[in-house]
Structures are given as C-alpha cells and as structure tokens.
Amino acid sequence: MPKTTKTLDLAVIRFAGDSGDGMQLTGGRFTDTAAVVGNDISTLPDYPAEIRAPAGSLAGVSAFQIQFSSKEIHTPGDTPGVLVAMNPAALKVHLPELIRGGTIIVNADAFSKKNLTFAGFETNPLEDGSLDDEYIVYSVEMNKMVTHACKGMDLPAKIVLRTRNLFALGILYWMYDRPLEPTENWLETKFAKKPEIAEANKRALNAGYNYGNTAEIFTTRYKIEKATLPSGTYRNINGNYATALGVLAAAEKANLKVFYGGYPITPASDILHAMSSWKQFGVKTFQAEDEIAGIASTIGAAFAGNFAVTATSGPGVALKSEALGLAIITELPLLIINVQRGGPSTGLPTKTEQSDLLQAMYGRNGEAPMPIIAAATPGDCFFAAYEAARVALKYMTPVFLLTDGYLANGSEPWKIPSLDKLPDIETNLIDALPDGEESFLSYQRDAETFGRPWAIPSVAGLEHRIGGLEKKDGSGNVCYEPDNHHQMTVIRQEKVNKVVQEIAPTRIIGETSGDLLILSWGGASGTARSATEQLQEEGFAVSHVNLRWINPLPSDLKDILKQFKKVLIPEINNGQLIKIIRAEYLIDAVGYNVVRGKPLRASLLIEKAKEWLG
C-alpha cells in the first residue's frame, strides 16, 4: 500500500498508560527528538499523586502531551490529535479530550477482560464499534510485537514487555518522520551498564518504526518542518531545572555562593535535586527537617553572606510565612520559589494551579510587602529566577518567584543564554564603616534602592544586631516609638515600590489599543498568547500583555489598560490577579477562571474572549 506524506504546521500527541508503562520517559524521548529536529515544542507531563497505583487502575494513569510545530508555539496544545493508550484505563481517562476524528493507537494486548472491568468498560471499545465512527483507531498487539522483536535475546518476559513504550514510540517516529538515532544513543548511555536492556529497547523502537512503515494499516505520514527559531545553541529544558540554573547563574554573576535550604515537596523537589548535584560550584544544600527550618536556615545563611534560596509549593509557603516576615523586617536578600500546585490544603499535589498569588502578596502577618515575579514559560524560569535574585541582592529584600506545576515539569526548546549578556548583579556588601560614620548604622539606606548595607559576620567594626522587633530607622536598634513604626511601615512598602525602576517597558503583543486586552501572568501566558494570536488572525482587535512583575506592577500598565475597551484576565484560579488589577486601576476587568489542575485551553479562552468582543 502506498503511503502518503502530509505536511502540517503542528501536531499535538498524547502518550497515556499505566504508571509502570514509562509514559513520562516516552514523552521525554519524543520531545528531545522533536527538539533536535528543530521543531518548536511545548510539553505537559501529567502524572498521578500515587507513586504507582495498582496496575490498570484509573488512578494509576500517567500521561505526557506534546505539541510540536514548525511555527512558534506557546502551549502544549489544548487537545491532542493523536492518543497513544497503553491500556483501557488510559483510554478511558484521556479519550474525552481527544479531538473528534483524532487518531488512537492502543496496545490491544492490554485490553483484557480484567483491565477493561478495572477501567470501567462494560464491553471492549476496540470491538464494540463505539470508537469507530468518531476516531481512527489503530489497535496493535504490542506485547506480541516486542516479544517477537526480542526473540533470541534470552530476556525474561517481564523485561521484554517493558519495552512496549519504545515500540509505541517507534510507530510515532514513523508517523512523524523522525530519526531514531537520538533515542538509540540515549538508550545506550542510559543502559550503559545493561547493554541487553538497551538492545531490547532499541529492537522494540525499530520494530515499532518498521511496523508503521510496513503494516498495511498506516497510510499517512506527517511532516512537520523545522521551526524558524532565533539563531543560537538550544537545549530542551523544563521549568524546575531552568529555575535552578537561573539561581546558580545569578550567584556566579554576583560572586556569591548559593545556599539552598528546603524540604522536599511536589512539584518543587527537583529544584533541590538539581542544587544538590552542584557541589563543584560550592552550592550548599540543606535538606531541613521541615519548611520552617528550611527558610530559617536560608535567613541565617543570608545574614552570613550567602545567596540564599528556598523552593517549595503552597503548603510549604504557608509554613514559611512567619519566617518570611522576619526576612522582610530584617531586610535580607532571599529568594523564595513557589512551584504552585492545586489547593487548598494538600489539594491536587501533582496538578498545576495559579492560586497562590494572593498568598504571596498577603500571606503574612502585619504589613509585610515583598516583590513578586512570575515566570511565563519553562525556559523563562531561568530568567525570572535570575531577575528575582538580582532584585533581592540589589534591594536587600526577599523576593517571591512564582512558577507552577505545568511550567516546572513542562519543557520547551531553550536558547542557551550567554553569561556575558546577562545583566550585572549589584550587592550591598560592605567591609568597613562608611566614611564619616561613627558607629555602624545597619538601616542606613541607599537612596535609590532603599537597600541597607549587608554587613556580614567576620567583618570587623560592623558588629550589629538584627531581629524581628521593629527597628529604628537608620540605626536598626529595637524601637517602639509610634512614629518610627509608621515611618518604617511606609519605608518597607516604598522599597518594594522602588523595584518598579527595574521593570522593562511592558511588551504588548498586538496593537497598543483595541477592543480587548488579554492580561495574563505566569503559566497562563502561553494560552493567552495563543488565543490572542488566533483572535488577531480572525481579525479581532485583541492584544496580549503578560505580567512578569506583579509586585510592584509596571508603571506603564495603567496607561496600557486604558487603551482597551475591556480587559480579560485568564487565570487557573478563582480570580486573583484580577483583584489586584481592579483595586489598583478601578477598571472593570473580567476573569476567565478554570481550575481543573491543567493549563487553560486556548480554544475556550477564545470563546470567552468572543463573548466580550460581541
């Protein structure tokens, strides 16, 4: 049968299977290959809260979605066009999101009576015809195939069957005309010590590819060309790793050592993991007994002159909030990273959400303002972390960096920055009594930044005491005077306000005025951008602004907002940025809020936008 090849702009595929089926790995390989091929990509891992729920259960389904394209893209895609379902449960969970007319590739061998029942199917959907009208279904006996492929290798059946995911990957590589070498190389490195495993996997991969090539059932291949990305060296990067690299880069640039104090929590733990692997950079990681000790240790390390960082997720932020107040009143440089997840309480720990913004703004006792920056894409986490560090050190303040589960685990091609081009980082370190001072004034501020001197223990002549009680303006001594307290309260707010001078002019995607402005922050920015671009293509007067700094807000934002008839704020929460914007600018902004533990869908945001566009 002749095979035809269609060229597409983009494709969205989703791998889904049991936790034990290696779907994250499969997705990761597809992503790396797409990156090497030169596509723009965006990924969305989606795994269960259980380590490994019972095989075949709905709760145990793990998935990985990737959008790859020859054009610039901003999201992992709303709904996949191709679904790989390694078992009935995976089909059950993910079918509802597959587009009509989409392609389903299933491992027919996993559709046993037991698995079907476990997944809640009364009849076998591969046989009862229920799928045939709406989807193109490829039912492949993958178990059988890999067993064939590994024949003669003398491996236990269990091991052989574990290569099924590579077989499925091989089919997709054929479908999208991808090279196998990157994956083969990766397998060789990964299983360097177990060459027979590498071999089995390679066989499965090739078998899948060849199956696509030769089997009668597949008729069409798709070609997705290289995207035209800015020139440079690229790597694929996820948000957590990018965040960790951003911290390290800032410290190196500031000529400081990194101190990381924290406690593991999903989805932030990978930042700790990355940090703890960088001993050669002198990075010190302290896995503390809890989040409170984690942040407390960073406060101590900051006092003693390290660039101190902690990362956590919402429940951890709650625990750290008392100590954050201490960091604010002692005016020490500190970076606190919240990789947001679904709340409240333990909530949906492995899912994404943007619902900790107001906690970051207000979640402390007293008037305790601090700057807040949010990363927009996985790769942007690097720059946001770097920027947060720069501000913390320049202004002598703790800074909040908000990312989220989607950014943290999602990935995209990332143009590796050149270190020289990163902005310089100033610190307030001093090593002697400033000229003309008789005794050290630990709260004597820099006029431009309101930063106070950073006098670290071991410097002679600058001995001083700080703490959580209100301090006298200038001297920093404990002070209960009413007017001083008022003044210090105002100064602490003013200091945060001053960070506005660091904020680049706001970038507007689209015209500077129009009918609708979509105003986003953080992980919703990709969806907002996609939606905007499509609306613009359809001829609507829509523009997009993504906020990087949320506290303070950019000084040009007010004027920008006024140029639009309506402002629409999409957030994966019940309306948080919108409260800040409405209070600040008294504009009747409206929200688009869907709290499903997943990135917002561009298509639905577009619908919502059209409501306001009339």
Ligand X SMILES: Cc1ncc(C[n+]2csc(CCOP(=O)(O)OP(=O)(O)O)c2C)c(N)n1
Cβ closest to its own copies, residue 59 vs residue 217: 59
Helix (H) or strand (E) holding 571, with range, is strand 564-571
Q: Is residue 293 at the binding interface for other proteins, with CB under 8 A as the rule?
A: yes
Cα 460 from chain centroid (whole Å):
44
Q: Mark 503-513 as b/e (b = at least 16 C-beta within 10 Å).
A: beebebbbeee
Give the strand order in the sheet containing 542-547.
508-509, 542-547, 514-521, 564-571, 590-593
Q: Is residue 48 at the binding interface for ligand SF4, with CB under 6 A as the rule?
A: no
Cβ closest to ligand X, residue 249 vs residue 323: 323
Q: Say how far apart CA 19 and CA 332 lie, in whole Å.
A: 43
Q: Say how far apart CA 518 and CA 533 lie, in whole Å.
A: 11
Per CB under 6 A, which of residues 486..545 are in contact with ligand SF4? none
Which part of the chain contacts its own copies (CB under 8 A), choosing from 167-175, 223-231, 341-349, 379-387? 341-349
What is the x/- site pattern for ligand X, positions 344-383, by CB under 6 A?
Answer: --x-------------------------------------
Q: Is residue 400 at the binding interface for ligand X, with CB under 6 A as the rule?
A: no
> Residues 174, 209, 211, 263: which binds ligand X (CB under 6 A)?
263
Cβ closest to ligand SF4, residue 51 vs residue 192: 51
Q: Is residue 233 at the binding interface for other proteins, with CB under 8 A as the rule?
A: yes
> Residues 4, 5, 51, 129: which binds ligand SF4 (CB under 6 A)?
51
Cβ closest to its own copies, residue 35 vs residue 95: 95
Residue 550, SS3?
strand
Q: Say how far apart CA 221 and CA 243 lie, in whole Å.
A: 37
> 195: number of CA atoms within 13 Å, CB side?
0
Burial of residue 233 (number of CB atoms within 10 Å: 0-12, 13-18, 19+)? exposed
What is the x/- site pattern for its own copies, positions 366-405, by CB under 8 A?
Answer: xxx-------------------------------------
Q: Is residue 515 at the binding interface for its own copies, with CB under 8 A as the rule?
A: no
Angle at CA 574, nearest 5°, toward 503 and 15?
Answer: 90
Q: 45 near 410, Cβ under 8 Å? A: yes
How many residues lie near its own copies (CB under 8 A)?
67
Cβ closest to ligand SF4, residue 52 vs residue 190: 52
Q: Say how far apart CA 90 and CA 88 lie, in whole Å.
A: 5
Q: Roughly what angle, to the nearest 10 degrees, separates helices 164-175 and 195-214?
A: 40
The interface partner of residue 205, options being ligand X, its own copies, ligand SF4, none and the CB cut-off 5 to 8 Å by kind, is none
> Residues 161, 168, 319, 370: which binds ligand X (CB under 6 A)?
319
Q: Enumerate binding residues for its own copies (CB under 8 A).
A: 48-49, 59, 313-315, 317-319, 321-322, 325-326, 328-330, 342-349, 351, 353, 355-356, 358-359, 361-368, 467-470, 480, 482-483, 485-486, 489-490, 492-493, 573-574, 578-580, 582-584, 586-588, 594-598
